Structure 1
């Protein structure tokens, strides 16, 4: 039986971050990945035509660029290079006007002022506030809950009055916050549209903070892409890990976490081979998969099993990738400069789209998030060519497959064509992935859910993945949840992986017995009986 200090299940970005941090501490680490390549939802492949490099899942990374976890790993030394489009984000309205988030705040102000004279100044005021609170806020976001030290720093930075106003914003729907802050459609749509990068519609509580965070990050660090494709971020993490002596084995599916006397002691793979873990098992898989499939109900408290029945996934996803013979022929040239484009609803349309998702209706007028990565990185396509992608949310209760999926993809392509006449004539290849295809390519995207569970306020912070487990710890000693199902949730930033690694290191350290005693008391309080 192979024996290592720690086994990491899954080579997604969180698993790779966790493995790197454990290797930094001198641990012997083995990462086991079920699919044939690392990266999870951060991968690049030729999906359509030779020479066209498509990001298979996620594609642009403001949180990765700002994350103190990822920046501390020094990934530029391992090949990661960020690239930026001339403009960050354009929201194209039904009448082809564009609200554009530029890299220079003055340019963003000018774009938004065209919709309402006061909105440029309101945006500048919000960005100034972001700049003051940026460091303590990011520290609080990417540390285990509750973030005591960074939370106190943030409270001191804001002061009592602004702190209360900020806390109020954390609970607000994006539409309400947008209408309170801005007078015109442009800035309002940037805020509400960015909230929909999660699964939070304009009228849902807690959506404002997601929209605000992505808007401010876009103004601060942009929406960068890795040179050569998203997979270069994963490749840099793997290179760093192996340089430290860590190991990665792909095509090796873990089927069980092995336990003894309430403690994780290793894993078994699909062939029946076992690996002993001297200190920890870290799982970069969705919480329901870890608990129900890899651990099993017999070893878990009844209350946790009951809470897992109430675990809420985010909506499903449909994604299209195109190989193009040239740039998208936008009617409004402002859209051509943006690496990311929102199409094409007004605020009322975004609300109807969200209502369709809530009622299980396949949206007739969905919001598309579209990417033009060659605006930042021409190496993605042959000379003169371009790659593009678009995705939208669909209800989990109305899965799309076969002819229905193809017709829906045609409908989405028609939305692009409406604002870029001649777009279809430039398509030389197309790849469609519905919820089932996404899950086949990455088993962690259960039912096409890309965020590891809803971002709604009832499943965030200490409620993620279930009430009382707002950290990487689990009821099984030395087993840690390192996926987006854990706080601080979805997107590529390494937070869940880093939190799980820190917990494993603390448990194995000099204070490990005391640490486990505190965690056990918390778990008992939440799951007794």
Structure 2
């Protein structure tokens, strides 16, 4: 039987794969997306995990970068059923003494909360947000453009001027703790920076964490932390509807095990059943870099230096996640926490620094730092009236053994942290679902060891170093094979950046001047890996 032939095969129907497939379909390409799981979505899926009527997001939930992403906005997913919804407040960080710093989309409300910790911090926050508004579009364009982002970075530099551009560059290397100490005087603003930095795998004392904390804080102030109405899976559904309307095809339950290479070019894939699919123009892989280069591509097709670099690839931390069906909203001691979609619990800046240091040393922190989502507060459709669907996750070190009993005990510790700040919380639990690092990987093979960002966010594995030195673009050493997942620049979170970059590279290779593009990319690869 002859192999199926399409213009492009996309490996993986997560958000990056679906974004890439949509962009290729927009260009008139015949696209086939192959997904190993039984349904599309990757880490953007929703299910009734615990009991009927309680809709739990299996992995990710809140999408500030998705709402701000020029890529997702450009797809106009609202025309395909996507509806964003918000909690009354964006983020609340509950300190050990139950004081609460609240970040709201209403600037005056945020300023009032931070000024209660230190009067000067209200004006300092306004100044930060004014800077954000001035550079927002150029910064986002730089973030979501293939590396190096020459044109948007030039526009950003002109907007900032030389002196401020140098200060911005310095911030890229700073610890969040240091940035907070330099720009704010009170605990409120400082804890928001440090807590948001820990949405990555970087503790506030680690270099490079400042930019993550600052970016998420500014996005929270600007677009909030929205969720898709009805569940994260509705974002996937909108991407799927858009793709199929344009003739794209998705086949689930088909695990790709091999990328087929001939004469230095990717020519198709083979699935676990041995069936081959020919790709006339491109193969785009949304799997992590170690999976693509270490498993799907025969090592004989890869440069020896790339394989050496691959041994130094660093994953981000593991994750333990607990989902709850609650009989009522969480009974916070400080009611300000009840208005936020995302709640951080319960360390101060020093405690967060200790937490990050323990993870970096491979130790289980003495006190887990929690990122908690109040989903019904954010989207009333998530559970029956008067109840709450909620979750919390915490980072854990890689390499530990996480059997069912160890995961259960850690989930109990998570609940104890919530109980300290919401007495009676445990009595509201109608049911729970616990996922350890290995459970997350079983549900989505890209979440290797519970790593949710497909590689560390540390500066040595970002930009031109992501996922490997010199590999800051979607192009790979194999012609017409593109890395389209979160291992590639600009990295994790749901924004479509890696998928869009891979689609653009594939279109450039196949378009007018494509042969020249291919030769130039091979020349660059030869320089890097010779």
Q: TM-score, normalised by structure 2?
A: 0.99
1:295 aligns with 2:294: no
- Give the conservation status (yes or no) of the 8 Å contact 1:172–1:204: yes
- Structure 2 distance, partners of 1:498, 1:174, is 29
Counterpart in the other structure of 1:497? 499
Report matched runs for 1:1-16 at 5 Å.
1-16=3-18
- Displacement of 1:400 in angstroms is 2.1
Shift of 1:300: 0.5
Distance across 2 between alignment mates of 1:180 and 1:64? 30
In the aligned structure 2, how far is the partner of 1:296 from the partner of 1:55?
36
> In structure 2, the residue corresponding to 1:52 is in which secondary structure?
coil
Stretch deviating more after TM superposition (307-316 or 347-356) = 347-356
Structure 1 ranges of 4+ moved more than 2 A? none
Shift of 1:375: 1.1
1:154 aligned to 153, 156, 165, which one? 156
Between the aligned partners of 1:368 and 1:82, the Cα distance in structure 2 is 24
Matches within 5 A, 1:419-438: 419-438=421-440
Query: Distance in 2 between the 1:167 and 1:328 partners?
Result: 41
Equivalent pair of 1:368/1:391 in contact (CA under 8 Å): yes
Q: What's the offset of the Cα at 1:401?
A: 2.0
CA distance in 1, matches of 2:21, 2:435: 30
The alpha carbon displacement at 1:394 in A equals 0.3
For residues 358 and 455 of structure 1, the distance between their equivalents in structure 2, rounded to whole angstroms, comes to: 12
* Residue 260 of structure 1 pairs with residue 258 of structure 2: no
- Which residue does 2:27 correspond to in 1? 25
Show CA shifts across 1:138-183 (max 9, x none): 0000000000110111011101111111111111010000100010
**1:164 counterpart (155, 166, 178):** 166
The answer as to 2:309 corresponding to 1:307 is yes
Q: Which residue of 2 aligns with 1:453?
A: 455
Aligned residue pair count: 528
8 Å Cα contact 1:98/1:335 also seen in 2: yes
1:7-156 alignment, distance < 5 Å: 7-156=9-158
Rounded to whole Å, the distance in 2 between the matches of 1:476 and 1:50 is 47
Aligned to 1:5, the other structure's residue is in SS state: strand
- Residue 441 in structure 1 maps to residue 448 in structure 2: no
Tell me whether 1:216 sits opposite 2:225 in the alignment.
no
1:273 corresponding residue in structure 2 = 275
Between the aligned partners of 1:399 and 1:139, the Cα distance in structure 2 is 41
Q: CA shift at 1:379, angstroms?
A: 0.7
Secondary structure, counterpart of 2:119 in structure 1: coil
1:346-425 matches, within 5 Å, as: 346-425=348-427
The whole-number CA distance in structure 2 between the counterparts of 1:361 and 1:168 is 30
Measured after TM superposition, the shift of residue 385 of structure 1 is 1.5
Could you tell me whether the CA contact under 8 Å between 1:3 and 1:277 is conserved in 2?
yes
Residues in 2 aligned to 1:73 and 1:511: alpha-carbon distance in whole angstroms:
26
Query: Match for 2:338 among 336, 339, 364?
Result: 336
- 2:205 is matched with which residue? 203
Alignment counterpart, residue 506 of structure 1, candidates 480, 485, 508: 508
| Farther-moved stretch of structure 1 (495-504 vs 348-357) | 348-357
C-alpha distance in 2, partners of 1:213/1:186?
17
* Whole-angstrom distance in 2 between the partners of 1:373 and 1:48: 14
**Aligned with residue 480 of structure 1, among 474, 482, 497:** 482
> Structure 2 CA distance, aligned partners of 1:382 and 1:106?
33
CA distance in structure 1 between the aligned counterparts of 2:116 and 2:394, rounded to whole angstroms: 28
Separation in structure 2 between the aligned mates of residue 363 and residue 152 of structure 1, nearest angstrom: 42
Structure 1 regions of 5+ residues with no counterpart?
none
**Could you tell me how far apart the structure 2 residues matched to 1:368 and 1:255 are?**
36
Deviations 1:461-489 (A, max 9, x none): 00000001100000000000000000000
Distance 1:355 1:460 in 2: 20
Tell me the CA shift for residue 405 of structure 1: 1.1
Q: Shift of the alpha carbon at 1:383?
A: 2.1
Which residue of 233, 240, 243 corresponds with 1:241? Answer: 243
Is the 1:33–1:252 Cα contact (8 Å) retained in structure 2? Answer: yes
Deviates more, 1:20-29 or 1:364-373: 364-373
> 2:262, 2:406 → 1: CA distance?
48
TM-score when normalising by structure 1: 0.99
Whether the 8 Å CA contact 1:399–1:435 is kept in 2: the answer is: no
Structure 2 spans left out of the alignment, 5+ residues: none
Secondary structure of the equivalent of 1:8? strand
Query: Tell me, what secondary structure is at the counterpart of 1:471?
Result: coil
Deviation at 1:510, TM superposition (A): 1.0
More divergent stretch after superposition (293-302 vs 220-229): 293-302
Deviation (angstroms), 1:390: 0.2
SS in 2 for 1:267: strand
Q: Tell me by how many angstroms 1:273 deviates.
A: 0.6
What secondary structure does 1:118 align onto?
Answer: helix
Distance 2:399 2:191 in 1: 27
